[in-house]
Amino acid sequence: MFTRMLKLRLLNAVAPAYFFMATAVTFILHFCFFIPTIFPNADTSLTGSTTLHTVVFLFLMFNALGNYIMTITYPAESANEIVVPVCSAHCSDKVDAHYLLNGRHFCKLCKKVILKRDHHCFFTGNCIGNKNMRYFIMFCIYTSCTCLYSLVLGVAFLTVEYSISFENPLTFLTLLPLSTGYFFTGTVSGLQLFLVLMLYVWLGIGLVCAGFCCQQVLLVARGQTWCQMQRGQLVENRSPWRSNLKDVFGTRWILGLILPVQTAETCFEDTDQHKQD
């Protein structure tokens, strides 16, 4: 158990660094390679398209980073419990957290009591619970959109710069192994191979974030958490799905779709303490 906990702590430190590195690489590729190549400055007829793509990319990136920061700014820990409570008799003694009572968990990585804990996110380095679930879901949505949008621009860049045709659906499937082989034979440059690798990174992150987001929205609509689903525990006195979504996304949910701002009350301590997890 000590070895596994050490691996989790290492992952908790490496994952945020990986996220910021991937974000910086995406930002540099977009403004230093994609936009100048796909929309050259000499062509004045493409000025509107250049501005549009730049605004869309900055909007997606701003919301992804903004909700990432909000997820960390509004942690899910209990402000009333400084001393760790005694673990309940029903605790399954998970490696990363102990189940307490009344919807509370003690996270061994955060070393704090978490209200209505869903899971521990290694990319943000903290637990996702009742106070930051909305920001986490929006973070997943905009991260997925940013990655898939970058994937499209990356494909366009390879088509314009290296004359790679993607008309054949099998091109994308064979692109990485062929590019790797051509790189070792000296036919493909290191930059081209790196761009091909980034295409697969964007595709993977985009699909994973999209799938994870759908799962979280479904759990929120059911009034359930990931911890409850893992234990196979059903939610008693389940509220209507509209009410559950409103509790997380707030009444100003439309504003929250376009800006990383607070749209719901964060003071659920009194109500969540009386709810069974």
Catalytic positions, please? 121
Closest listed residue to residue 262, CA positions, set 132, 142, 129, 137: 132
Amino acid at 205: I
Distance in angstroms (rounded) separating the CA atoms of residues 81 and 83 = 6
Give me the residue label for tokens 């920001």.
135
Backbone angles phi, psi at 194, to 5 degrees: -65, -40
Geometric angle at alpha carbon 253, from 247 and 259, rounded to 5°: 130
For residue 23, with 0-12 CB atoms within 10 Å meaning exposed, 13-18 middle and 19 or more buried, which class applies?
middle
Give me the residue label for tokens 């996304």.
249
CA-to-CA dists, residue 9 to 5, 6, 13, 167, 191, angstroms: 6, 5, 6, 44, 33
